[in-house]
Amino acid sequence: MDALATPPATDAASPLEREVARRRTFAIISHPDAGKTTLTEKLLLFGGAIQLAGQVKAKAERRNTRSDWMAIERERGISVVTSVMTFEYEGLVYNLLDTPGHEDFSEDTYRTLTAVDSAVMVIDAAKGIEARTRKLFEVCRLRDIPILTFINKMDRETRDPFDLLDEIEKTLALDTAPVTWPIGRGRDFAGTFDLTRQRVRLIDPDGRHSPLSEPIDPSDTAAIAKLAPGVDAAATAEELALVRDACNPFDLAAFREGHLTPVFFGSALRNFGVGDLLDGLGANAPSPRAQQAAGRTVEASEPRMSAFVFKIQANMDPNHRDRIAFARLCSGKLTRGMKAKLVRTGKQMSLATPQFFFAQDRALAEEAYAGDVVGIPNHGSLRIGDTLTEGEELSFVGVPSFAPEILRRVKLADAMKAKKLKQALQEMAEEGVVQVFRPADGSPAMVGVVGPLQLDVLKNRLSAEYSLDIGFDSSEFQLARWVTCEDPKRLDEFATANRSGMAEDLDGDPVFLASSAFMIGYTGDRWPGIVFTDIKDVK
Ligand code: GDP
């Protein structure tokens, strides 16, 4: 199938359907250093950095949403927080959900991936598939998220492109379909051959998005040599013949089902190939997909607004101590000032100041549609996993919690502040900074994290925001598992018999703490019927 066979649906029936059809909500997954940040910048450039005409009152606030707002992040030069960037290009609205680069914050990344409809996988052409790319890919696969691949840094020494495709196919069990093919590489990288349109796009030395050539025959070495004088035209023609004979054609259905990835070659640094990638996203990536709620599936084009919270970010503006919940709209239209029901508590809340986020600024969202991500300022009423509706009792499923890999007891310097610490830990857990487990035996709270940097963030934030001086004690427990059982009585018996290892998580769900994987296996064998899990879907 032609890579550009499906122009965005603009002839849909209702205005809501039209708005939904023109949205693309996606994330970029990659290993650190592959070029995610550079690609993000270049994508935003295409969006003309970034006005949502007609929807946003241009009431940008001060420049306070830069993703390096946190001191620790600046110190370490890493991106800790997840944010969203919205831009419009050629009639489509793109919501790019940024994910933290450091693997210690992978929980944040996993949650963010529950809020996208597609992903771009960036691969360093010299390195191929790296560990973190692979892990994030697996998370996308769990949700059948369609993936486009951008093979970056073609302007440097690279591996053989066929080799790279082969590696994607073998290590990820994902079919590949090149959409463009590199002409030369490394110092000789001159541009790409567009396999769908049979035209050449050359690198612009000034980094502009250059136009396509007239159609040329891929076996016409003279024509290739004329367009790209520095490259080995015969070798390029040979490769193009091999691509035609050996590579998969693009197949929209296979892509949408997550079985096949269209592959683009380029250089983010030189702003090359980024436009083709964006065209690929626009033409083929799905518009907002239906979302699964407990009991029913919610279609994006349903008229009534629904949304779920996948991320909480506090103190983006230290002067205001505000807390922003990032909510992905799943259906309908959000209008500023509307009332929404917070399903967990049954309470109504007024969406007085929902916000859109751009690269550097935020602005009031007058209206937003399914697929959009809005920031909702609140003072602690919203939690990760929360569902907002126009009244319906609805709960989206699938924003997961992961069992921590490190457990520590919190040590408080000033025992008089125990109550304040309890409150602060509760808020940090609601924000997803750490997980908190309260032992059944009444001993001090334990915190659980995926990576040690999270502990640093917790310590810094408790000090800066709550004036609490804490340390961490190692714990006799190494692992935490949620425990469930079909028979509540049996679960009670289990909890009583194992009281010294039992704790409650933020939601009051029972957690079994163990000193080793062996202990979990051993206990499991003695308690048939009790299920131990390391992922909990937040309901
Ligand atoms: P991230 O860690 O994935 O966000 O990667 P960055 O975007 O920060 O890029 C890592 C390094 O690779 C930086 O020094 C970039 O300038 C460089 N880089 C990114 N894209 C390219 C590219 O296309 N070509 C070359 N030569 N360098 C690149």
What is the per-residue pLDDT across 513-524, written as a single tens digit (0 to 9) for each?
999 999 999 999
What is the per-residue pLDDT across 366-411, written as a single tens digit (0 to 9) for each?
889 999 999 898 888 898 899 999 999 999 987 777 888 899 999 9
Q: Could you tell me which residue, 358 or 375, shows the higher pLDDT?
A: 375
Task: Please report the atom of ligand 1 found closest to the CA of residue 38.
Answer: 7
Please tell me the distance between residue 67's alpha carbon and the centre of ligand 1 in angstroms: 18
If 0-12 CB within 10 Å is exposed, 13-18 middle and 19+ buried, where does residue 130 land? Answer: middle
What pLDDT sits at residue 315? 61
What pLDDT sits at residue 373? 93
Which among 295, 187, 293, 195 has a CA at the least distance from the CA of 242?
Answer: 195
359, pLDDT greater than 60: no
Please tell me the distance between residue 150's alpha carbon and the centre of ligand 1 in angstroms: 13
What pLDDT sits at residue 73? 46
Please tell me the distance between residue 152's alpha carbon and the centre of ligand 1 in angstroms: 8
Q: Which residues pair with 410 in a beta bridge?
A: 472
Widest distance between CA atoms in the chain? 82
Task: Report the alpha-carbon distance of residue 431 to residue 453 in Å, rounded.
Answer: 16
Instruction: Decide: 157 in ligand 1 pocket, CB within 6 A.
Output: no
Tokens coding 177: 């379909």
Instruction: Decide: 33 in ligand 1 pocket, CB within 6 A.
Output: yes
50, pLDDT greater than 50: no
Q: Torsion over CA of 453, 456, 460 and 461, rounded to 10 degrees?
A: 60
- For a mutational test of ligand 1's pocket, the pick from 28, 31, 37, 38, i.e. the residue with the most ligand atoms closer than 8 A to its C-beta, is 38
- CB-side exposure of 410: number of CA atoms within 13 Å? 31
Strand 84-89 with 92-97, pairing: antiparallel
Instruction: Decide: 271 in ligand 1 pocket, CB within 6 A.
Output: no
Instruction: Decide: 155 in ligand 1 pocket, CB within 6 A.
Output: yes
Instruction: Decide: 448 in ligand 1 pocket, CB within 6 A.
Output: no
> How much is the average pLDDT of 24-28?
96
Are the C-beta atoms of 433 and 383 separated by less than 8 Å?
no
- For a mutational test of ligand 1's pocket, the pick from 28, 33, 270, i.e. the residue with the most ligand atoms closer than 8 A to its C-beta, is 33
Please tell me the distance between residue 42's alpha carbon and the centre of ligand 1 in angstroms: 12
Instruction: Classify the phi-psi angles of 273: left when phi > 0, otherwise alpha if psi is within -120 to 50, otherwise beta.
Output: left
Instruction: Decide: 38 in ligand 1 pocket, CB within 6 A.
Output: yes
Pinpoint the alpha helices (H) of 212-298: 221-227, 233-246, 252-256, 274-284
Which stretch of DSSP H or E encloses residue 162? Answer: helix 161-172
What is the per-residue pLDDT across 117-176, written as a single tens digit (0 to 9) for each?
999 999 999 999 998 899 889 889 888 999 999 999 999 999 999 999 999 999 999 999
Helix axes 418-431, 452-466, angle to 10 degrees: 130
What is the per-residue pLDDT across 269-312, written as a single tens digit (0 to 9) for each?
999 999 999 999 999 999 999 999 988 999 999 999 999 999 88
Strand arrangement of the beta sheet that strand 260-265 belongs to: 84-89, 92-97, 23-30, 118-124, 147-152, 260-265, 175-178
Phi, psi of 65 (to 5 degrees): -110, 15
Task: Report the alpha-carbon distance of residue 335 to residue 338 in Å, rounded.
Answer: 6
Instruction: Classify the phi-psi angles of 151: left when phi > 0, otherwise alpha if psi is within -120 to 50, otherwise beta.
Output: beta
Tokens coding 164: 């790279």
Please tell me the distance between residue 158's alpha carbon and the centre of ligand 1 in angstroms: 14
Q: By alpha-carbon position, which residue is closest to atom 14 of ligand 1?
A: 33
What pLDDT sits at residue 474? 92
Please tell me the distance between residue 104's alpha carbon and the centre of ligand 1 in angstroms: 21
Pinpoint the alpha helices (H) of 398-445: 418-431
Helix axes 131-142, 161-172, angle to 10 degrees: 50
Which among 141, 196, 130, 140 has a CA at the least distance from the CA of 168?
Answer: 130
Please tell me the distance between residue 22's alpha carbon and the centre of ligand 1 in angstroms: 30
Q: By alpha-carbon position, which residue is closest to atom 11 of ligand 1?
A: 33
Which among 284, 363, 282, 268 has a CA at the least distance from the CA of 57?
Answer: 363
pTM (2 d.p.): 0.84
If 0-12 CB within 10 Å is exposed, 13-18 middle and 19+ buried, where does residue 350 land? Answer: exposed
Opening angle at CA 193, ends 192 and 195, nearest 5: 135
Instruction: Decide: 153 in ligand 1 pocket, CB within 6 A.
Output: yes
What pLDDT sits at residue 394? 94
What pLDDT sits at residue 276? 97
Please tell me the distance between residue 187's alpha carbon and the centre of ligand 1 in angstroms: 16
Instruction: Decide: 40 in ligand 1 pocket, CB within 6 A.
Output: no
448, pLDDT greater than 60: yes
What pLDDT sits at residue 278? 97
Phi, psi of 374 (to 5 degrees): -120, 150
257, pLDDT greater than 90: yes
Instruction: Decide: 328 in ligand 1 pocket, CB within 6 A.
Output: no
Task: Report the alpha-carbon distance of residue 507 to residue 80 in Å, rounded.
Answer: 25
> Where do we find the tokens 């909990």?
536
Q: By alpha-carbon position, which residue is closest to atom 6 of ligand 1?
A: 35
Please tell me the distance between residue 243's alpha carbon and the centre of ligand 1 in angstroms: 27
Share the mean pLDDT of the chain: 87
- For a mutational test of ligand 1's pocket, the pick from 79, 269, 272, i.e. the residue with the most ligand atoms closer than 8 A to its C-beta, is 269
Instruction: Decide: 99 in ligand 1 pocket, CB within 6 A.
Output: no
Please tell me the distance between residue 98's alpha carbon and the centre of ligand 1 in angstroms: 16
Which among 444, 422, 394 has a CA at the least distance from the CA of 506?
Answer: 422
Task: Report the alpha-carbon distance of residue 192 to residue 210 in Å, rounded.
Answer: 11
Q: Could you tell me which residue, 461 or 238, shows the higher pLDDT?
A: 238
Instruction: Decide: 268 in ligand 1 pocket, CB within 6 A.
Output: yes
Task: Please report the atom of ligand 1 found closest to the CA of residue 270.
Answer: 23
Q: By alpha-carbon position, which residue is closest to atom 22 of ligand 1?
A: 153
> How much is the average pLDDT of 1-16?
58
480, pLDDT greater than 70: yes
What pLDDT sits at residue 27? 95
What is the per-residue pLDDT across 54-91, written as a single tens digit (0 to 9) for each?
222 233 333 333 333 344 444 444 343 447 888 889 99
Task: Report the alpha-carbon distance of residue 106 to residue 132 in Å, rounded.
Answer: 10
Task: Report the alpha-carbon distance of residue 113 to residue 100 in Å, rounded.
Answer: 12
Q: 11 falls in which pLDDT band (50, 70, 90)?
A: low
